[in-house]
Each structure stands twice: as C-alpha cells, then as structure tokens.
C-alpha cells in the first residue's frame, strides 16, 4: 500500500484542518488510529509543520470534501509519477593496498611487453593506474625505469586471471581479424 510522501506531516494537517475521522486519516496516511489520536491530543506531532495533501497533489479536493461529509468514505491517494532521473554512474574504484601499489609499474611493464595490443585505457582500469604512468613506462622516461621488472599482474594480486583473460581475448581477436583482412 502506498502512502503520502510525508505521512506524519499530512496527518498533522488533516487533524488540524479537517473534520475527518481518525480512521479516515489513519487509513490515508498508513498509520494506526492511536497515532492519529495522539496527534489530535497534542502528544505527538506538535513540532511538525502540517503539509496540505491537496496542494502537494496527493489528494483531490472533491474527494476530501466528500470524505468530510461521509465518515465511511475513504480518501484516495493520488500517485505522483516522478520521472526517474538517469543518475550519474559512479566509478567503482578498485582499492589496492599500499603494499601492492609499488607493484603497479612492474605489472604495467609486463602488460606492455606481453600484450602490447591492449589499449592504455583498459590497462588503466585493470591495474588502477594513470595514463601518464603508462606513457612514461612505454617511453622509458619513468623515474624508476632501471628498477622495473615485468611481473604478471595476477601474481601481484592487482587483478584477477579472469579479468586479464577477458582483455587478452578481446584484443587478441581484434588483431587476428585485422590480420586476416589484410592478408
């Protein structure tokens, strides 16, 4: 069962501004009758500003008038159709422990050496590095280039074998298709 956007504030307004029964208000606001009675007695809701459901577009004024005249009449909630906003996709950042971060350049060197066909953008996502670092290693301008040892990123724990296999499979197919077209 759906309820008004602010059921307690709506109940406060209905208690203060209408002659509806506690049962009618409770059913409309999806509350218990005792909660509505405590609002009417001033025990709860005294610090809450009431919200007019007619002005909010959640209740028809004619339906409200009819319900005030007939205690058996139920209030009908008007469903507000809010358009779903296409939210921004948040990047899922892969956390790499500090101890493993120093292994990233070694993994990049391994990928460049054994899989030069994988684009830099995919290496960035796989390892969690920057394009600037990849370019520096490719151009041999990396600050610690003499200390680099090409090591498998899976063995270093920077990615899973499945992730690496998918990339290799995807980009090795692209090369074999290109090679067969030119031959």
**φ and ψ at 77, to 5 degrees?**
-75, 130
User: Residue 183: what pLDDT?
Assistant: 46
From 158, 165, 149, select the one nearest 124 (Cα to Cα).
Answer: 158
Coil, helix or strand for 59? Answer: strand
Average pLDDT over residues 89-97: 65
Give the pLDDT band (50/70/90) at residue 139.
very high
Average pLDDT over residues 142-161: 89
Q: DSSP for 60-76, please give it.
A: -HHHHHHHHH-TTPPP-
Report the number of secondary-structure helices (H) and strands (E) in the chain: 10, 0
Contact 14, 25 (CB under 8 A): yes
> How far apart, in whole angstroms, are the C-alpha atoms of residue 108 and residue 87?
33
Contact 12, 54 (CB under 8 A): no
Q: Within its chain, how far is the Cα of 55 from the centroid?
A: 31
Average pLDDT over residues 90-111: 80
Average pLDDT over residues 56-84: 85
How many Cβ atoms sit within 10 Å of the Cβ of residue 120?
A: 18
User: Which two tokens mark 65?
Assistant: 């008038």
Structure confidence by residue, pLDDT tens digits, 3-35: 888 889 999 999 999 999 999 999 999 999 999
In this prediction the pTM is: 0.46
Question: How many residues does the structure list for the chain?
Answer: 183
Degrees, nearest 5: CA angle 24-29-31: 90
Degrees, nearest 5: CA angle 51-54-56: 60
State yes or no: pLDDT of 158 exceeds 80: yes
Residues 6 or more apart from 57 whose CB is under 8 A from it?
78, 80
């Amino acid at each position: 069962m759906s309820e008004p956007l602010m059921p307690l504030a709506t109940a406060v307004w209905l208690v203060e501004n209408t002659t509806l029964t506690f049962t009618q208000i409770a059913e409309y606001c999806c509350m218990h009758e005792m909660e509505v009675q405590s609002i009417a007695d001033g025990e709860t809701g005294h610090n809450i500003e009431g919200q007019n459901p007619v002005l909010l577009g959640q209740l028809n004024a004619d339906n409200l008038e009819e319900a005030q005249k007939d205690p058996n009449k139920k209030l009908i909630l008007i469903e507000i159709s809010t358009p779903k906003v296409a939210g921004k996709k948040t990047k899922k950042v892969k956390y790499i422990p500090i101890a493993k971060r120093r292994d990233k350049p070694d993994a990049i060197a391994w990928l460049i050496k054994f899989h030069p066909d994988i684009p830099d953008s995919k290496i960035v996502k796989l390892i969690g590095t920057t394009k600037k670092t990849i370019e520096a290693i490719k151009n041999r301008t990396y600050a610690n280039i003499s200390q680099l040892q090409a090591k498998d990123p899976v063995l270093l724990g920077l990615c899973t074998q499945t992730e690496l296999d998918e990339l290799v499979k995807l980009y090795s197919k692209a090369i074999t298709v290109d090679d067969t077209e030119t031959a």
